[in-house]
Amino acid sequence: VDLNPVGASSSIAYDTHGGQQVGSAILGGQRAGMWSGSASSWTDLHAFLSSEFDTSEAYGIWHDGASTYVAGKARRVSTGGHEAILWVGPAPQTIAATSITVAPGIAINGTPANVNASDDVYYTLRPGVVLTTNQSPIVVTASYNLPAATARAINAVVEARAHQGNIRQTIEAYDFSTSTYSQLNQQVLRTSSDTVMTLPVGPPVDYIGAGNEVRIRVAYKAVGALLIYPWLLSIDEATLRLVP
C-alpha cells in the first residue's frame, strides 16, 4: 500500500482491516485527512472542524462495526493552543461476494459463504487439473455488487493461509475500462498464520461494471519444492471494504 499518495502529505496511521489511512497535508494550511491508497479518495477531515481551528493533524484510525474513529489534534486560533480531536464517521461497509467461482480447483472443506467474514472458518481448496505448469491450479473468482455505481474508495480484503510453504497468492481486480485484470498483489503465503491483504482497487470508476459489479480474482500456485501433494489452501475472508 502506498502510504503517501497525496502530494505534500504524511501518512501517520493505517487501518489494516478497513484499508483507510490518516495523516495531514499542506493544503493552504496543515489539514487532517483520511484516504485509501490514492489521492482521489482523500477526505478532508479539517473541513469537519469549526472555523475556531486553523490547522489540524490526524494520528490514529480504528473502526468497529458501526463507526470509524480518527484521533488527532487541531489548533485553536484564539489561544494558539492545540486541542485533542476525535473524528467519528461511518465505518467502511463490508461487501460480501454475490458469487464465488472456483475453476480450476476443488473444494475440500467449507463453503463459499465461509469467505464472507474473518472468523477462522475457512473455505479450503486443493489444486485442480491444469494443462501447463504456467497455469494456476487454484483460481477463485469473486463477484460483488455495490449498492451504488460510484464509490470514494474500494478495498479488496483477502485473508488466507497455505498448509505448506511455497504457495504463492496473486490478487487481481477486473478493470472494466480495459477489459483486463490488473494485479493488486502477489506474495508467498505464510503457513503459521493467515496473511491479511487490504488492497485499494481503483480508480473505482474503472473497476465498477454493469450492475455495479466489482470482480476480484485470486490465484494460487506452487512456486518451489512441495513436501506434500495435493497441497491445501484455506481462505478465511474475501470481501470488499467500501467507502461510499
When the beta carbons of 55 and 234 are compared against Ca ion, the nearer one is 234
Min CB(228)–Ca ion separation in Å: 24
- Which of 8, 119, 177, 182 binds Ca ion (CB under 5 A)? It is 119
Cell numbers placing 174: 477486473
When the beta carbons of 96 and 106 are compared against Ca ion, the nearer one is 96
- Tell me the number of residues near Ca ion by CB under 5 A: 4
Residues listed for the chain: 244
Cell numbers placing 82: 492545540
Is residue 111 part of the contact set for Ca ion (CB under 5 A)? no
When the beta carbons of 87 and 144 are compared against Ca ion, the nearer one is 144
Min CB(158)–Ca ion separation in Å: 11
Nearest to 177 by CA among 206, 149, 203: 206
Q: Which stretch binds Ca ion (CB under 5 A): 91-99, 120-128, 163-171, 179-187?
A: 120-128
Is residue 121 part of the contact set for Ca ion (CB under 5 A)? yes
Min CB(160)–Ca ion separation in Å: 10
CB of 132 within 8 A of CB of 147?
A: no
Min CB(166)–Ca ion separation in Å: 24
Q: What is the per-residue binding string for Ca ion in 200-239, x denoting contact by CB under 5 A? A: ------------------------------------x---
Is residue 96 part of the contact set for Ca ion (CB under 5 A)? no
Judged by the rule CB under 5 A, the positions of this chain that interact with Ca ion are: 114, 119, 121, 236
